[in-house]
Amino acid sequence: MTAPTMPTLLVLDADPPPRLGRLTGRARIVHTDEAGLAARLPEADVLLVWDFTSHAVREAWPGEGPRPRWVHTASAGVDHLMCPALAASGTVVTNARGVFDQPIAEYVAALVLAMAKDLPRTWEYQRQREWRHREGLRVAGTRACVVGSGPIGRAIARTLKALGVTPALVGRTPRTGVHGPADLDRLLARADWVVAAAPLTDATRGMFDARRFGMMQPSARFINVGRGALVDEDALAEALSKRWIAGAALDVFTHEPLPPGSPLWRVPGLLVSPHMSGDTVGWRDELGAQFVELYERWAAGRPLVNVVDKSRGYVPGH
C-alpha cells in the first residue's frame, strides 16, 4: 500500500525562522525567500507567511499554476498579502489574532503615561544635566477615542480604563459598547487621547487627515499602532508643527523602515518607534506555536480559527 503523501508546507522565511519541529514527519516543509516564492507556490498545500513585512505574496499570487489551499500570516494585518486574485480564490486566509493584543495595549498605555508625564524631555534634560521642574498631566479622568474595535482595540480600551481613562471604541458597525463611523468626528473633538488601531482597508486608508487633525483639541495626543497608511503623515507633521494638537506617537509608517532622511524624525512633539509595540520577549515562539496548533486543526479536518474575511481584510465576529 502506498503511504499517503504529506502536505507541502511552504514557508516565506524571515530571520530567525519559525520553530516547526512538532510538524516533523507530518508535513514536507519547504523554505523560500521572496525571489523563489512565485516558482514554489504551485507545489504548496499551505503557505506560512513568516516574513510579514514582505509584499511578495501579493505580487506572486496571480501567477500560473495551482495555489495553496490555506495561507497563514504571522501578523494581525493582512494588507501586505491581499490582492484581488487571492481575495477571489477559494484559499482560506488566517492571521495571528490574539498574540499581539495585550502587548500592544501595554505599549499604548506606556505612551500615554510617557506623554502625560513628559518623560521624553525628562530623559533629554538628564542627558544635558539640566534641572527643569515641570508639571505633568493627570491621566485619570481623561478621555480616549480608540479607533478599531477588534481584539487589539478592545485590549487597549480595557488597559486605559484601568488607568482611569474613559475610552470610547469606534468600529465598522455600531453595536453594544462600540460606536459606528458616524460618531467618530464627535468623539475625536472631545478626546484627550486618539488611538488608531484599525485594520488597513479601502475605508480606513488615510482616515486621519488634515480635517480630522484639525477637529481634535489643541491638548489632544494621537497614537498610531494600527497601520501606517491610516495616517496622512504630512498632515500629522503639519498639525504638530502648527500646534493643532499637543503631541503624537507613531509605531507604524507608510514606508518601513522609516528612512533616515524622513522629515518625521524631526517633527516637534512626535515620538517615533520602529514597529515594536506588539513585540515582547518570546513573541516569535508564540507565533510559531500558534501556527502549529492551527496546522494540527487543518490536518485533522477541523475548522480553522482566525479566518480572515478577505473582502473586509480582517477577522469578523467581534
Q: What's the burial of 150, exposed, middle or buried (CB within 10 Å: 0-12/13-18/19+)?
A: buried
Which of the residues 256, 266, 293, 296 is marked catalytic? 256
Segment 136-175, tens digit of pLDDT: 999 999 999 999 999 999 999 999 999 999 999 999 999 9
Annotated catalytic, 256? yes
Give the number of other CB atoms < 10 A from CB of residue 31: 16
Please give the biggest Cα pair distance in the chain: 81
Active site residue 72: no
Segment 35-41 mean pLDDT: 97
C-alpha cell at 168: 470610547
H helices of 30-130, where? 34-40, 56-60, 84-88, 101-116, 119-127
- From 40, 72, 154, 227, active-site residue: 227
- Give the HSE-up count for residue 79: Cα atoms under 13 Å, Cβ half-sphere: 15
Kindly report which listed range (2-6, 160-164, 247-251) carries the lowest average pLDDT score: 2-6
Q: Considering the candidates 58, 69, 275, 284, report the single residue annotated as catalytic.
A: 275
Closest to 288 (Cα-Cα) out of 25, 52, 104: 52
- What is the per-residue pLDDT for 318? 54
Q: Return the pLDDT at 228.
A: 98
Number of H helices, E strands in the chain: 10, 11
Per-position DSSP letters for 270-316, written without gaps between them: EEE--S-TT--TTHHHHHHHHHHHHHHHHHTTPPPSSB-BTTTTB--
User: What per-residue confidence (pLDDT) applies to 114?
Assistant: 98
**Does 275 participate in catalysis according to the annotation?**
yes
Residue closest to 277 by CA, chosen among 256, 296, 305: 256
- How many residues does the structure list for the chain? 318
Structural contact between residues 143 and 153, judged by C-beta atoms closer than 8 angstroms:
no
pLDDT of residue 12: 98
**pTM of the entire predicted model:** 0.94
The pLDDT tens digits of the residues spanning 108-143 come to: 999 999 999 999 999 999 999 999 999 999 999 999
Backbone φ and ψ for 233, nearest 5 degrees, come out as -65, -35
pLDDT value of residue 1: 46
**Helix, coil or strand: residue 63:** coil
Provide the 3-class DSSP secondary structure of residue 170: strand
Q: Across all residues in the chain, what is the average pLDDT?
A: 96
Q: Say what angle helices 151-162 and 101-116 make with each other, to 10 degrees.
A: 40
pLDDT reported for residue 5 = 86
- 279-317 residue pLDDT tens: 999 999 999 999 999 999 999 999 999 999 999 999 997
d(CA 92, CA 81): 13
First-to-final CA distance of the chain = 47
Report the DSSP beta bridge partners of residue 249.
Answer: 223, 271
% of the chain at pLDDT higher than 70:
98
- Decide: helix, strand or coil at residue 55: coil
